Amino acid sequence: MEKIVDLRSDTVTKPSLAMREIMAKAEVGDDVYGEDPTVRQLEEMAAAIMGKEAGLFVVSGTMGNQVALLAHTSRGDEIILEANAHIYTYEVGALAVLGGLLPKLIEGNKGKISPEQLKKAIRPLNIHFPQTTLLCLENTSNFGGGTVISVEEMDQLTDVAHGYGLKVHLDGARIFNAAVYLGVPVRELVKGVDSVMFCLAKGLGAPVGSVLVGSKEFIEKARKYRKMLGGGLRQSGILAAAGIYALENNIERLAYDHLLARKLAEGLAELPGLYIDLDTVQTNILMVDIVREDLNSTQLVDILKDEGVLSSAISEKRVRFVTHRDVGDKDIDYTLQVMSKIMMAK
């Protein structure tokens, strides 16, 4: 099969020629000594974009999230998360293994929790209870189907959390997708949170890396935890240069990814045996539920792979498709043709 349409994730994007040229020319130094000028430039740029004091370049979103948890909490603390949050479900139990933290899970609606749910989840002070110290939010919500938390909803949740003395960390792996969808500056979305991690290696198209931002005091603490976890990089300006290029060139084009996801969703919604909640198709992630009894997600993913379309089985009856900069309009047309052939077959 020569043709491959890779819709497994926006992590599969490859750096463009222009990005590679910038990387090759990057000025570098030893970042552990604070001597890589390109890393410093990326960190300062990221902090300014997010409206925070300082930034820290990390190798992955998971490292950024876990460093943030370590910097915000103490062992034995309780942290609040939506039940399907990436930090809880897809980071190898690191919050417990590394941080000694107890998760308090809230069943949200399409990845979002309400201020009322949050208030009920915060434990009162009691000698028998762990202390609740941190709220973790996720915008966009991966397993909510790429759904977005609005500025107003973010503000309401951060106000409640701060009112109870909690810090707020945002897993903003795809926060630029949320900002583009809402048509607002990204700093407006994150103004109430104490820290933000965002990914460069997803929709923004860089090959490696994420950035954690927050106050200067928080970032200095996080920098030490990054070193502890093996994330002290040396001549990492080569990677940081890709991140700078991504921030300067690849944000606004995310809207095209969203259009393609919507096109795919509307086309699939017309096919028998499938269900798509079109209200959740806001950004670049599409969750497809299989309602045909004789077909499960693993089978569908395998059939699609044989036809040159790559996707992900999320549960027994759910498949995920993700659009990104290496997917175009013709790729979506081809995917719809293949899916139509599969679902129309008896």
Q: How many residues does the chain have?
A: 346
Question: C-alpha distances in angstroms, 298 versus 63, 109, 215, 264?
Answer: 29, 26, 44, 20
Determine the residue type at 120: K
- Show the DSSP H helices in the chain as ranges: 17-24, 37-50, 61-72, 86-89, 94-97, 115-121, 151-163, 175-182, 186-190, 216-228, 237-249, 254-269, 297-306, 329-344
CATH of domain 253-344: 3.90.1150.10
Q: Phi, psi (5° rounding) for residue 142?
A: -55, -60
185's tokens = 């500056």
DSSP-derived 3-state class of residue 131? coil
CATH architecture of 17-249: 3-Layer(aba) Sandwich (3.40)
Instruction: Give the chain's count of helices (H) and strands (E).
Output: 14, 13
Determine the residue type at 185: P
Per-residue pLDDT, 346: 60
Angstrom distance (rounded) from CA 284 to CA 254? 8
Closest CA to 114 of 160, 72, 75: 160
Please write the tens of the pLDDT for every residue from 153-200: 999 999 999 999 999 999 999 999 999 999 999 999 999 999 999 999
Closest CA to 56 of 211, 206, 176: 211
- Identical fold for domains 17-249 and 253-344, yes or no, is no
Please write the tens of the pLDDT for every residue from 304-332: 999 999 999 999 999 999 999 999 999 99
Q: Find the Cα–Cα–Cα–Cα dihedral 136, 139, 141, 142, rounded to 10°.
A: -100
Contact 304, 311 (CB under 8 A): yes
With residue 35 as reference, give the H or E element that holds it.
none
With residue 114 as reference, give the H or E element that holds it.
none
Give domain limits for the chain: 17-249, 253-344
Per-residue pLDDT, 210: 98
Burial readout 21-30 (b: 16 or more C-beta within 10 A, e: otherwise): ebbeebebbe
88's tokens = 């809880």
Q: Is the C-alpha dihedral spanning 323, 324, 327, 329 positive or negative?
A: positive
Task: Name residue, tokens 């969750």.
Answer: 287
Q: pLDDT averaged over consecutive 10-residue blocks of the chain (346 residues)?
A: 88 97 98 97 98 98 98 98 98 98 97 98 95 98 96 98 98 98 98 98 97 98 98 97 98 98 98 96 98 96 97 97 97 98 87
